[in-house]
Structure 1
């Protein structure tokens, strides 16, 4: 089995998130390997029309799997999805045997920072995520130059990159969460400053705006909160550019405040109080989405345990044990303890898990992100484990698949063109060697990935 290395396995310092510290753990040496570990894999030469025949299709909108199915692709779009006996293949179609395979829509990690200490490492990490079935990545805190460059890498039709969406820098308030003075963060000093900042981000191709307002978990009650008039001004400015605003606001009070200001998304989950009926009604009435990042909290709460779970989950042995050892090293532990109090984070985990079940049973749109590229996460493995942890918290595999595909597409405002396997939608899909409805952990066994109708073998991406 080939060994798989990636910059996302480094232990990024709090400096990457706005706190002064040194890069520790797996560090730059592992990140540097990312550039040589993944070949510039070319898509399979299939012609303009191709079909996967005989597979089981598991779609985000179907109530049951479609057995012995045909998925017909023409150009970059899905042309037909149906039972094999019902789909007539056009002359010249390239046929791929799908017997014993399972087809799902392309996965989306809706909260991934890519890691690395340079643009080259971030680009390599983005490329590697395609091998894990992630055809779309959303980055909610990225410098404007990196945003432009990474979008450029991903836009090339045949390039082995997921689609890349980002916000530009995270917007914070003076003395609050986000006031870090890094290229990935920007302070909004007043409501009058919001319009020019949002316009700048829009001019650089931002796909959404991220606002940080947190005085529960991270600041320990001492961080300044963003004034409500500033929140409202940011949302109003974003609407003028047809951009959605997503809030990092993991408390019930601040999340409610964000929704009343016009937020279209909430990041991380609610950690301090139960989701009550009034909040869930407001969430649905706002047509807003909620995104959960269990992996981040699990890592910060007990890094040794969660790295062990990542290693156990990595049944293909994609990373050598030395990488996992680095991710739970004393240096890695020290970096986290310099950033948060792990015991405080761990105290919030039961509420986070309970709220997840309330959220998904409410009918609100929900999705997932790993917060990958931050503390002690193995690139790709942590994205899959994020979904598996939700299964262990009580969600059903089909709920999870829907959230990781169509739920994410809807949060981005692009449910009309992605997130399910319907004719006319973009041909982003994943071919698995095991049934994810038996266990969501079977997402680990990726055989092939199609992005924009270009089909890649996972082994080529990892070669």
Structure 2
């Protein structure tokens, strides 16, 4: 990607550092293949963000950029709305590194319940910030229905087979979880699917957390080659921590059968008009989990495009935030991703994140990952002093490691300068 205003490479890096230090951004993304999240696509389109808000999207002839705003040539790249997690785990998102990693993998909004703050036990808001200068997801509170186990699926199960509180003879926490996640194979399958269609026709919302069920049904394998951040030990170690102990053949068979039931429910619910959205509940590593949840939705029967909507438009609706995000439309926040490939071809291509826009401020994931990984705390809080000091350190780091930045950009394939 080239900058059509003709600024030098050095000034582009300096501008990146200043963008992280300054206020809400204004930028024009030009010549991009834009998927706005409403179902419309704009080949060679233009996205205009002014003061953090989308002001125009469409053909270049219809969207004049304001004077003095940087124009980024995104020829050959794809622009989609920022990803939204309807429910992440409080224990994960309260960690600043976890919030930071989720953002660098494209999660621009994450809903996390408040968690107790040590030592007094008072409420502590989830890590994140609305400030475009801070590379962390915007925080949101999950809706009450998303906090009920299995959502509408649980309601349908309860109508068919009581979700008994008693478990198997061996009642270790792990055995109880296996029991709870496999018991619905005893339900009447046709009755469940009838319920799915009826609930979908009523336009209800459902965040199925399919990835979490997949994790219980079979060992998870880390995808390689899509995004170099996924190969970092901070990611692989988190995934290793979440791999479950070995299951007996009988347990594995039950969990796999239960996964088939849940997939069928999701497919019929969505086909009938239900709103399916993405929630991860802390499964696997932050950020990566949301991409894998979209992949799980495709496996269940959704198209790649519908899975993308689940993580953008439908997730925003579930959180009651559809007026400000979830799609790229005038008046909404300038939160977006620049991808190297078309995610409608293969949903795993959402992992090819080249740039992240938060309120019009562009972030380069590899650059910031290297610059801030060791001490992200001063950059992902709302404390003004920490923000000022951290921003200065960020700018200095970007200048000192310019040669490294260029190598990282080349590793992404096409150069984006």
Work out whether the TM-score is over 0.5.
yes
**Shift of residue 358 of structure 1?**
0.9
Aligned to 2:74: 98
1:359 aligns with 2:335: no
- Cα 1:255–1:159 shift into 2, 3 Å: farther
Q: Which secondary structure does the structure 1 equivalent of 2:311 belong to? A: helix
Q: Judge conservation of contact 1:311–1:324 (CA < 8 Å) in 2.
A: no
**Shift of residue 367 of structure 1?**
0.8
1:302 pairs with one of 218, 224, 242: 218
Aligned to 1:127: 100
**Distance in 2 between the 1:133 and 1:349 partners?**
27
1:316 pairs with one of 225, 228, 240: 228
**Shift of residue 42 of structure 1?**
6.1
1:414-449 C-alpha deviation (Å, 9 max, x unpaired): 212211111111111111111111111111110111
Question: Where does 1:29-428 land on structure 2 (aligned, <5 Å)?
Answer: 43=20, 48-63=25-40, 65-113=41-89, 115-116=91-92, 119=94, 122-139=95-112, 141-145=113-117, 149-151=124-126, 153-167=128-142, 208=144, 211-212=147-148, 247=151, 250=154, 252-254=156-158, 272=187, 273-274=189-190, 275-285=192-202, 288-303=204-219, 306=220, 308=221, 310-312=222-224, 316=228, 318-320=230-232, 324=236, 327=239, 332-334=243-245, 341-372=251-282, 374=283, 377-428=284-335
**Shift of residue 454 of structure 1?**
2.1
Q: Judge conservation of contact 2:209–2:281 (CA < 8 Å) in 1.
A: yes
Q: Judge conservation of contact 1:211–1:248 (CA < 8 Å) in 2.
A: no
Q: Judge conservation of contact 1:47–1:94 (CA < 8 Å) in 2.
A: no
Q: Judge conservation of contact 2:298–2:307 (CA < 8 Å) in 1.
A: yes
**Distance in 2 between the 1:384 and 1:328 partners?**
18
- Name whichever of 451-460 and 433-442 sits farther off: 451-460
**Shift of residue 370 of structure 1?**
2.4
- Cα 1:348–1:53 shift into 2, 3 Å: same
Q: Judge conservation of contact 1:210–1:248 (CA < 8 Å) in 2.
A: no
Aligned length: 328
**Distance in 2 between the 1:101 and 1:114 partners?**
34
**Shift of residue 411 of structure 1?**
0.5
**Shift of residue 69 of structure 1?**
0.7
- Cα 1:349–1:151 shift into 2, 3 Å: closer
Q: Judge conservation of contact 1:111–1:370 (CA < 8 Å) in 2.
A: yes
> What's the TM-score once normalised by structure 2's chain length?
0.68
**Shift of residue 151 of structure 1?**
4.2
> What's the TM-score once normalised by structure 1's chain length?
0.62
Q: Judge conservation of contact 2:295–2:348 (CA < 8 Å) in 1.
A: yes
Unaligned runs of 5+ in 2: 1-16, 162-180, 371-417
Q: Judge conservation of contact 2:224–2:230 (CA < 8 Å) in 1.
A: no
- Cα 1:396–1:326 shift into 2, 3 Å: closer
Q: Which secondary structure does the structure 1 equivalent of 2:228 belong to? A: coil
1:445 pairs with one of 352, 363, 373: 352
- Cα 1:124–1:281 shift into 2, 3 Å: same
**Shift of residue 208 of structure 1?**
4.3
**Shift of residue 97 of structure 1?**
1.3
Unaligned runs of 5+ in 1: 1-39, 168-206, 215-246, 258-267
- Cα 1:159–1:327 shift into 2, 3 Å: closer
- Cα 1:110–1:337 shift into 2, 3 Å: farther
**Shift of residue 249 of structure 1?**
5.8
1:66-94 C-alpha deviation (Å, 9 max, x unpaired): 11111000112100001122221221121
Q: Judge conservation of contact 1:115–1:125 (CA < 8 Å) in 2.
A: no
Q: Judge conservation of contact 1:409–1:419 (CA < 8 Å) in 2.
A: yes
Q: Judge conservation of contact 1:295–1:371 (CA < 8 Å) in 2.
A: no
* RMSD, aligned α-carbons: 3.6
**Distance in 2 between the 1:255 and 1:436 partners?**
37
Q: Judge conservation of contact 2:204–2:275 (CA < 8 Å) in 1.
A: yes
Q: Judge conservation of contact 1:132–1:380 (CA < 8 Å) in 2.
A: yes
- Cα 1:342–1:322 shift into 2, 3 Å: farther
